Chains A and B, each alone.
Chain A
């Protein structure tokens, strides 16, 4: 199974500042035949199901604000929120869809400082 490890577990950032969340996979999730990283990011607010933010490691889902961006390749990935807004308080998860079982990171709780 591919193990996904996020860091940090929690993060407090001031409004308007940058937030960075890291995700590391135990093996590469880059599919060589199409050169795509099989990695997604989700946002989950309290009492709600997860919401897709990013797929293919860096492609923003339709409707997601452009302050959210994803980067990285193979085993190391980053979710960046360029200017934190109050509505971004949530738990963020990375997930690989390279292989089954699908696996998620443990989550990073993002709060306002």
Chain B
């Protein structure tokens, strides 16, 4: 069974740091791009970041660029999100999500497309 389990959330003061983890099982973790998506209480889904299967490429939402760092350890089947300089507006449930890989015939490459698997999420609360 494909499974993603997040951990590391909690209460942190503004300006503080936190590292989230997402442990993957049931699939070849090292073959997949991985993403973080967050959801503020009572609000919608917001994409945060993604990392390529081998860790060689990363992307971030403008709202977290320079403050958050996504990384992975393929030997441990684990995705991470290091969050620093946290603000009240970072308060949210953070989900890790696995996209389906789609083979682009024209380029021969694999693209990360829709999210077919989500973790249960971990709550981060930034408050004094």
Chain A interface (Cβ within 8 Å of chain B)?
A: 33-34, 38, 40, 42, 44, 48-52, 55, 61, 91, 93, 95, 97, 100-107
Contact = CB atoms under 8 A, between A and B. Distances in A.
Nearest to B121: A49
B104 interface: yes
Nearest to B104: A34
Contacts of A95: 45, 114-115
Interface of B: 35, 44-47, 50, 59, 61-62, 95, 99-100, 104-106, 112-116, 118-121
Contacts of A44: 45
Contacts of B61: 101
Contact of A104 (B46, B112, B120, B121): B46
Given A34-B106, A49-B95, A49-B119, A101 B47 contact: yes
Contacts of A101: 47, 59, 61-62
